[in-house]
Structure formats: C-alpha cells, structure tokens
Amino acid sequence: QPRSRGLGDVYKRQGEEGGMVISGELELIIDGKSHHLMAGDAFTFPLSAPHKARNSTDKETTVLWVIAPPTY
C-alpha cells in the first residue's frame, strides 16, 4: 500500500505561493479542492487560501516551491 507523505497541517498566510512539479506526482489541496499534478505542471494561489500538499505514491516527488514574500 502506498505511503502518504505530506504536510499534515493546513497552512494559511498572506502573499502568493507557486511552483512546478519537477518529477513525480503531487496532490495539492487548495480551499478544500484537490488538484492532482504531474511532472511539468505548475501552480499558483494566494497564501490566504487554506492549503496543503501530499505525495500519495511510493515514488519520490520533487517540487520547486516559491513563496512571496519569503516567510523563512
């Protein structure tokens, strides 16, 4: 059975977030709506939207993730 790895908590901040799936697959849940992304898919959304992400496959997923303004 595939392992589910991801962000367990829902995050909500001010600004914008976006990125691109470099390899693998990613489930991105924004405002309660699930989006299944594959390698080459890009995404963007306001940080004020409740969101979380997970990899529900056994394969490694690489994502370029950008947050503006930086929060770290």
Please report how many Cα atoms fall inside a 13 Å half-sphere around the Cα of residue 40, on the Cβ side. Answer: 0
Please answer whether residues 47 and 15 qualify as being in contact, where contact means their C-beta atoms are separated by less than 8 angstroms.
yes
How far apart are alpha carbons 48 and 54 in whole angstroms?
A: 19
| pLDDT value of residue 1 | 44
Query: Cα 35 to the chain's mean position, in Å?
Result: 9
Does pTM top 0.85 for this prediction?
no
**How do residues 29-72 score in pLDDT, each as one tens digit?**
999 999 999 999 999 999 889 999 999 899 999 999 999 987 66
pLDDT grade, residue 5 (50/70/90)? Answer: low
